[in-house]
Amino acid sequence: MRQAVILGLCFGVLGAMMVAPPLSGQSGEIVMISYAGPSQEPHRFYLVEPFQQAHPGLTVRLVPDEAGEYVARVQAALAASRPSSVDLAPNGEPPHLRLIGLGLLERTNTDLVPNLKLAYQAFVEKSQGYGVPATYSLIGIAYNSQKVTKVPTSWKDLWDPAYRGKVGLTSTSSNLGLGFLVAAAKMNGGDEANLEPAWQAIRSLQPFVIAPNPTALAQLFEREEIVIAPLWSTDAAVLASKGLPIKFVKPQPGAIAIVSFLSIIKGSQFTQIAHELLNRVLSVEYQSKAAARPYFFGPTNVKVAVPPEAADYIPTTLNEIRRLQTVNWPVIVPVRAAIVERWNREFAR
Amino acid sequence: MRSPRVGTWHQAELAAPAVVFLIIFLAIPLLLLFAFGLVDIRAARVVPGSWTLEHYARILGDPFYYRIFLRTFWMGLGATIFCLLFGYPVAYLFTRVGPAARQVLLVLILAPLLTNAVVRTFGWMIILGGQKGLINALLLRVGLIDEPVRILYTMSGVLIGLTQIQLPFMILPVIAALEGQDRSLQEAAAGLGATWAQTFFHVVVPLSLPGVLTGSALVFVISYTNFAVPALLGGGSFAVIPTFIFEQISALLQWNNGAVLSSLLLGTAMVMLWLFNRASARLLRWTR
């Protein structure tokens, strides 16, 4: 009898642990994926704080995640018909398309996002009805102006023998790495469907330093492990704002622009109220703060002008916008896993 | 007098919570993990009736993964050897000093365990990283090197991080083994004319082997399966199985590959522990 009671108690406690609802659903906590490091600040100061003030019962927890590590958790929750542990996430265009394909994004109810009318329609179209185009950033070349005396002007300058062993890259599992791969392909006669020239070119760039993610790559500049690297304009701007001698250029034949969409994740318990965050991220207030020093996120709201001091990081003229490279992501995204595997096989040490 | 049967039942009662806990949270997940390699998984859902050996066959038939497993093995072995080299003298010193010094040493040995391994690894990034890193700055100032050497994002960096983090797991069992030694044996050796070195290598070290072997097994397994240190100190292209599993599941959503590699990592770790135990039993035959 006693054994049965003890065993029953054990199972009871364990059972209770397993069926207890997740705390986040009850405490009014919205979980939003964000960037790592200082790039997260616009979300924190200009999106989350005003939102929380408007909704005293709700809190928004920002979780830094640059490699889409949350996607596996969300996918597992959806497969098990559990609520998602993540409510909103910003995704660059490649993962945005991938998440649409996986059925992990909630369609946007445009009635709840009146600011969508103020967004550049070309960007809105790219969203395919999921999330909103929150910002855009450029992939260009960042360099240490004290160590690199010849200002780089073209992607080809990364291959200058003077920088051998001092070039930094990230794996193709990040948008940065993927974007650079496409730039390298186009520069060498390839394109999205023919990446072979890129692999050859990157192989000839060895030895280079491979950082696990873009934030870590930016940190390599701080520690002077590298002097030149393809980098996000926003990360380069943050480095420069810290007083480091880091400059950013939009190399020929063009920097790569990647739109970032803020989307509601399927299975979120906060679908309705999360639309307010989508609306706020498109607002003039948020967009102008995120476009200002030191972040220089590209504004997607037509009413927000690019501040003059952002000229090094965001295109300011129509001509400059025309020079930006766009990538045919729908061609790349389906073969992304194969690209990452190829990267590992080529460059894993 | 109690019958042994009653005693056994009472023991079973005491162990029941742990056994139930282990079955639910260890045995079943491990079986599931193994099984996830034997079925097709699409969008995190098992495709019903899709039993296949293809996922295991694909990975076991690919020399690339053998290279990565070998690298992971060297990482574990390297950390074990360095922990032994650095840990043994500390353990020996501990048994030779007075109570006050012991207190200090014990705090120093245990202090690393009081902070999170990830935090400590971030500390290493600052010490090892770049021209401004502590080690390079020091070596440059002393004039041992002209150009900063790359330590961060190399196997050396990973081994430095692992060794520091796993050191207590080597030192503590060795201290236990050294403490258990009968000092009169060392005195007898000295009395018979043995030098300090002869006593140390022929009496102290052999008698401490059980501790050394326990510590080595612990350090090896924890290092062989470690994720945080290679992920942070190894950089973006440092390929060992734990970082690979992480990438397969979280970046690529290749649940099958993740399950197969996890099962193989666990399986190889168990086989190596078993081999280690057999080797230990041979080495320690004299203790029986």
- State the pLDDT at residue B8: 65
Across the interface, whether the CB atoms of B133 and A223 are under 8 A apart is answered yes
Going by the DSSP 8-state scheme, the letter that residue A212 receives in this structure is S
Q: Report the b/e string of B197-211 with b at 16+ CB within 10 A.
A: eebeeebbeebbbbb
Of the candidates A6, A68, A345, the beta carbon closest to that of B13 is on A6
Residues A240 and A223 reside in one and the same domain? yes
Give the best residue of B71, B250, B262 to mutate against chain A (max A CB count within 10 A).
B250
Strand A132-144 versus strand A256-264 pairing type: antiparallel
CB pairs under 8 A between A and B: 108
Q: What is the mean pLDDT of residues B3-16?
A: 69
- State the pLDDT at residue B1: 46
The rounded distance, in Å, linking the Cα atoms of A346 and B110 is 41
The rounded distance, in Å, linking the Cα atoms of A122 and A198 is 28
| Chain A nearest C-alpha distance from B276 (Å) | 28
ipTM of the predicted structure? 0.81
pLDDT tens, B37-53? 999 988 778 899 899 99
Residues A33 and A142 reside in one and the same domain? no
Residues A190 and A237 reside in one and the same domain? yes
The rounded distance, in Å, linking the Cα atoms of A283 and A275 is 13
Distances (CA, A) of A314 to A119, A137, A309, B206, B209: 17, 7, 10, 68, 65
- State the pLDDT at residue A22: 42
DSSP A266-282: TT-TTHHHHHHHHHHHT
DSSP B83-131: HHHHHHHHHHHHHHS-HHHHHHHHHHHHHHHHS-HHHHHHHHHHHHSTT
The rounded distance, in Å, linking the Cα atoms of A227 and A209 is 11
- In chain A, % of residues over pLDDT 70: 92
Confidence at A23, pLDDT banded by 50, 70, 90: very low
- State the pLDDT at residue B74: 97
Q: What is the mean pLDDT of residues B68-74?
A: 96
Residues in chain A within 8 Å Cβ distance of B44: 72, 75-76, 78-79
- In chain B, % of residues over pLDDT 70: 95
Q: Is the pLDDT of residue A21 over 50?
A: no
The rounded distance, in Å, linking the Cα atoms of A116 and A120 is 9
pLDDT tens, A86-133? 999 999 999 999 999 999 999 999 999 999 999 999 899 999 999 999
Residues in chain B within 8 Å Cβ distance of A12: none
**What value, to the nearest 5°, has the Cα angle with vertex B148 and ends B143 and B154?**
130
DSSP A51-80: HHHH-TT-EEEEEE-SS-THHHHHHHHHHT
Residues A230 and A343 reside in one and the same domain? yes
Residues A157 and A250 reside in one and the same domain? yes
The rounded distance, in Å, linking the Cα atoms of A311 and A299 is 13
Q: What is the mean pLDDT of residues A7-15?
A: 52
The rounded distance, in Å, linking the Cα atoms of A301 and A130 is 17
- State the pLDDT at residue A19: 46
- State the pLDDT at residue B253: 86
Domain residue spans of chain B: 19-52, 62-287
Residues A167 and A240 reside in one and the same domain? yes
pLDDT tens, B222-264? 999 999 999 999 988 888 999 999 989 888 888 999 999 999 9
The rounded distance, in Å, linking the Cα atoms of B220 and B272 is 9
Q: Is the pLDDT of residue B219 over 90?
A: yes
Q: Is the pLDDT of residue B288 over 70?
A: no
Whether residue A174 is contained in a domain is answered as yes
Q: Is the pLDDT of residue A14 over 80?
A: no
- State the pLDDT at residue B146: 84
Across the interface, whether the CB atoms of B21 and A210 are under 8 A apart is answered no
Spatial CB neighbours of A325, under 8 Å, sequence gap ≥ 6: A182, A183, A186, A253, A254, A255, A256, A257
Nearest CA among A265, A274, A250 for reference residue A325: A250
Q: What is the mean pLDDT of chain B?
A: 90
Nearest CA among A140, A176, A159, A120 for reference residue A312: A140
Distances (CA, A) of B138 to B17, B133, B155, B161, B162: 53, 9, 21, 18, 22
The number of beta carbons lying within 10 Å of the beta carbon of residue B49 is 7
The domain in which residue A250 lies consists of: 137-257+328-347
Residues A223 and A341 reside in one and the same domain? yes
- State the pLDDT at residue B103: 95
CATH class of this structure's domain B62-287: mainly alpha
Q: What is the mean pLDDT of chain A?
A: 90
Record the tokens describing residue B163, joined without a space.
Answer: 């060794």
The rounded distance, in Å, linking the Cα atoms of B151 and B165 is 17
- State the pLDDT at residue B9: 67
Residues in chain A within 8 Å Cβ distance of B254: 337
Residues in chain B within 8 Å Cβ distance of A5: none
Residues A177 and A303 reside in one and the same domain? no
- State the pLDDT at residue A3: 55
Q: Is the pLDDT of residue A326 over 90?
A: no
Of residues B10 and A120, more confidently modeled? A120
Whether residue A6 is contained in a domain is answered as no
Whether residue A128 is contained in a domain is answered as yes
Spatial CB neighbours of A126, under 8 Å, sequence gap ≥ 6: A93, A133, A259, A261
Whether residue A4 is contained in a domain is answered as no
Residues in chain B within 8 Å Cβ distance of A213: 236
Spatial CB neighbours of B77, under 8 Å, sequence gap ≥ 6: B220
Among A37-46, A126-135, A146-155, B231-240, whose mean pLDDT is lowest?
Answer: B231-240
Record the tokens describing residue A201, joined without a space.
Answer: 């070119």
Among A47-56, A162-171, A302-311, B6-15, whose mean pLDDT is lowest?
Answer: B6-15
Residues A342 and A206 reside in one and the same domain? yes
Across the interface, whether the CB atoms of A348 and B239 are under 8 A apart is answered yes
Contact in structure between B229 and B161 (CB atoms under 8 Å):
yes
Residues A148 and A228 reside in one and the same domain? yes
Whether residue A186 is contained in a domain is answered as yes
Give the best residue of B28, B33, B252 to mutate against chain A (max A CB count within 10 A).
B252
Residues in chain B within 8 Å Cβ distance of A2: 13
Confidence at B7, pLDDT banded by 50, 70, 90: low
Residues A106 and A237 reside in one and the same domain? no
Give the best residue of B72, B237, B244 to mutate against chain A (max A CB count within 10 A).
B237
Across the interface, whether the CB atoms of B20 and A223 are under 8 A apart is answered no
The rounded distance, in Å, linking the Cα atoms of A316 and A83 is 42
Whether residue A205 is contained in a domain is answered as yes
Of the candidates A2, A79, A220, the beta carbon closest to that of B43 is on A79
Residues A277 and A201 reside in one and the same domain? no
CATH at A187: 3.40.190.10
Nearest CA among A233, A225, A227 for reference residue A245: A227
The number of beta carbons lying within 10 Å of the beta carbon of residue A124 is 20
Q: Considering its fold, how many domains does chain A have in total? A: 2
